[in-house]
A and B are shown apart, each in its own frame.
Chain A
Amino acid sequence: MDFLISQNYVNYVCQCGLLKPLTNLYFCRHCLNLRCSFCCHHEVDSHFCRNCLENIPSSEAKLRKNKCNSCFDCPSCSFSVLSARATTIQVPMTVKEKQEGEESSTTTSEASSGKMVAKKMYYLACLACRYSSRDVGISDQASQNFCWPEQEYMHANRFNTILNYYQALVLHDKQVKQDEKRRKTTNKSKFQSMTDRTGLNVSAIRRQMGFDKTVSKPKNKPASILPSMTEEVEELSEDIFTKPINLKNITTIEQRFTQPANQPESVKHLYPQHKNLSIKRSIRCRHCEHNVIKPEYNPTSIKYRIQQFASSHVPEVRIIKCYPLMPNKSAFITLKLTNPTMNDMTITIMELPTDDEEVMMIDEMKKNFESLTVSSKSSLMRPSLIEDPRIVSCKPTAKLELPDSSFVINQRDDSAEFDDEIQTDKKDPKFVIWRKANKIAIELSITPNDLKVNDEVIVGFTMHYTYSTVPSTTAEKKDSQQRHALNARVYLNVGNIVDYSTK
């Protein structure tokens, strides 16, 4: 069974020219075209923690640097989330605790009265790799939430000083430059435009050009950021030549990168890491800016507010069987087609476009889009760009004999789901083997090209189908329903050429 689902035998051509299984495609109801994740526009919809399922508003997520306050990843194995474990310790009862509830001002008088009380303390532990927050010297905490000591970054202060210095410097430069411009607008130096363009190290260029050195210094550098060069360089310890090392105490590079700021070399410095948040994304058609996917806000919900999966709009094709596959010999292929919509569909199976036709289709698409872009230019909305449509990368290796007529697939009827009755319709053309509710099986004939043993046999066709738009609001009348004639290009990988001569 596994091989049936792990490989895609039936692929549809997305509007952008990529081949994808139907389940990976979207259907834009406004453009009436197939779309895929590659040619759609993705947006972050909401932030949440996938461990505690807390929903975090985007502005807050930003403040928290996209980390969850309460969940921690294991810094050692980074596979699992740390869990708080409780231990009970005996502590001497203090005066403060005795007067519980009262407003005690004598907290200092912690002289124990000799009595011991049990107190719950927590530490963080990994269930997968036995890492514990005690390993790195974090003392147990009295509450399991929000009070784990934050790790300090040793360069934080120096970094801030330098950043402030640069921001002031660049700003000062800009002002000086503007002043200069105002003063001598007439004789513009030819270098000035270059500085404008590059912007890189404005002050340096000015100095190189012979500008007054003093103007570029808004103020002297704060003393704290002055020298960082040293003659002292950390020497290799002599121990390394004689003492054996214990691999268990040295971090791997993956462990180092879980803390990019510090990249600790010793496991003693592997601190619990706040878990990174996850996002739900919404996906938008680039041609019309409508959503094809919009998830529900609630992190526990796997539902969507908008979902335009192609599999609920476009007829699904499955291969039932195909044999025998020999070069230049005709073979029979049985396909099952399913209509996922609530309206009957008329299907016509046609030839794939030729290479020239495909190029023309692509040109047309580009032109259409450009006209769309031009017409909306006046509005404030800036339309998205489209990915350049591509020529389908797959070429059929067998010829399909086209059926001589169209056929109808009935609408989906959820109540008929359990009817087992196979219907045969005398009006159906000969190639229809059976039909059942919204499904139909057809048998066609294919002739593989002059292929070698084990070569893949690929057939393709254009499936022309009728599609009725469902009125999107109840206010719209049923008769506003419109019928469209749409095309989907389908490529089938029916199997490999078999060597019958040896059998």
Chain B
Amino acid sequence: MPLFETVFQEKPAIVMEIGSAYTKIGFCGEAHPRFILPTEIESIRDVLKKTEKNLYDQAVDFFNKIFFDYLLVSPKDRKVSFVESTITTPTLIRESFAKVLFHHFEVASILFLPLHLVSLSTLAIDTALVVDIGYKEAVILPVFNGVQILKAWQAQPLGGESIHDGIKASLILNGVKDEILSERVIEDIKVRTCFVTKQARAVAHRNNESIQPCPDVDYPVDGSDVIKIPGNLREFALEVLFPEDNDYLGLPYIIIDAIIKCPVDSRKELAENILLIGGTSSMMGIKSRLRDELRTLIKSEFYMDRLYIDDVKFHNAPSKPNFTGWLGGSIYSATDLISNSITRENYLKHPKIPDWIFYDGSSTRNQG
């Protein structure tokens, strides 16, 4: 038996992760995606608003661009792997993509890979608490000994979008004109000027104690206008991820919630194997802040006697956080496991995409 089929070398599988904001595309067995580009399928998360037809046509246009303008390969008879957030990707999306790829582009096979699970392969481990902080939401899923603990998953609308909304609202309050605050400008302001502050300063800010704010930034837009970004906005814009209210739905809380829903004897290992993925995890200071918040929580009176963990530890994947999931897909698809794909022949016989990923039977798709 050859080590792995020669097909891999001749026609490596195409690996894609289509996020609500950015799409990562490339070939299996490669150490990073070839391209990261804005996702141009508007209805990707608003499927209920639009008809499937519409989604189909949008997907055709977008995949055309991916194959012929970026990857420069004929999709016909190629293998394609999709890395997707199992729990939050609507079935309609998955089925439309399969239809577009099999019918319109005539790909050879499709493999759907659960984002959180495959992310672990970038570290060669099989237990981790995977925290994906992307654009629409933060999704947390523990994986223990290679099995996703689906009953423990958590998702909250904490991510790029909520940060951008906050920045925009605050700048408009400061008198900045709405017209110049396009999504692109807001994102640029966030990426280049904002950061996640330290816990102590956040607490002080919350309690209205006076602290010396960090320096303001003059941000030029379109050559003429200049927006003043106050130090307070730079420092506290990302506090939307750490809300302190009675709902306890901030990032640290939902991480702890995920752990607490896991069997007692797995918790310590999970807490010491946290893997942060998703573009928002690139924000400066977020990891150290999360560590401090989690340490405070596990030592708090409420959790002390329930959690049975004493510390948290984080992993460093050999990737930028926004493509860790993609990279997992790249590794998986470069092994013999790609032979588990749904082939075109099988799809044409039974045009249904099975939810393989729920192989442990406890489908929790409708949870939450």
Contact = CB atoms under 8 A, between A and B. Distances in A.
Q: Do A and B bind each other?
A: yes
Interface string B17-61: 000001010000101111111000000000000000000000010
- Size bin of chain B's contact surface: 35 or more
B31 A233 contact: no
Contacts, number: 205
Interface residues of A, number: 74
A163 B334 contact: yes
A208 B191 contact: no
The interface centre, meaning the residue of A167, A196, A205, A221 with most chain B CB atoms within 10 A of its CB, is A167
Interface stretch (B162-170, B242-250, B285-293, B300-308): B285-293
Contacts of A260: 24, 32-36, 320, 323
B192 interface: yes
Nearest to B323: A260
B273 A281 contact: no
B105 to A, nearest CB: 9
A231 B325 CA distance: 22
Interface of A is mostly: mixed
Interface stretch (A21-29, A246-254, A291-299): A246-254
Of B32, B35, B124, B191, most buried by chain A (CB within 10 Å of CB) is: B124
Nearest to A174: B336
B146 A236 contact: no
A475 interface: no
B215 A208 contact: no
B180 interface: no
Interface in B307-359: 311, 313-320, 322-323, 327, 331-332, 334-337, 339-340, 348, 354, 356-357, 359
The 7 closest A-B pairs by CB, nearest first: A204-B146, A199-B340, A155-B318, A236-B285, A261-B32, A159-B31, A170-B335
Given A166-B331, A229-B314, A241-B214, 17 more contacts: A43-B74, A155-B319, A162-B318, A175-B1, A199-B339, A208-B147, A236-B197, A236-B285, A241-B235, A247-B220, A250-B193, A252-B191, A257-B35, A261-B32, A263-B320, A278-B72, A387-B103
Interface of A: 38, 41-44, 47, 61, 65-66, 153, 155-156, 158-160, 162-163, 165-167, 169-171, 174-175, 194, 196-205, 207-208, 221, 225-226, 228-231, 233-236, 240-245, 247, 250-253, 256-257, 260-263, 276-279, 281, 384-385, 387
Interface of B: 1, 3-4, 22, 24, 29, 31-37, 60, 64, 67-68, 70-74, 76, 102-104, 106, 113-114, 117, 121-126, 145-147, 187-188, 191-193, 195-198, 201, 212, 214-215, 217, 219-220, 235, 272-274, 282, 284-285, 287-289, 291, 311, 313-320, 322-323, 327, 331-332, 334-337, 339-340, 348, 354, 356-357, 359
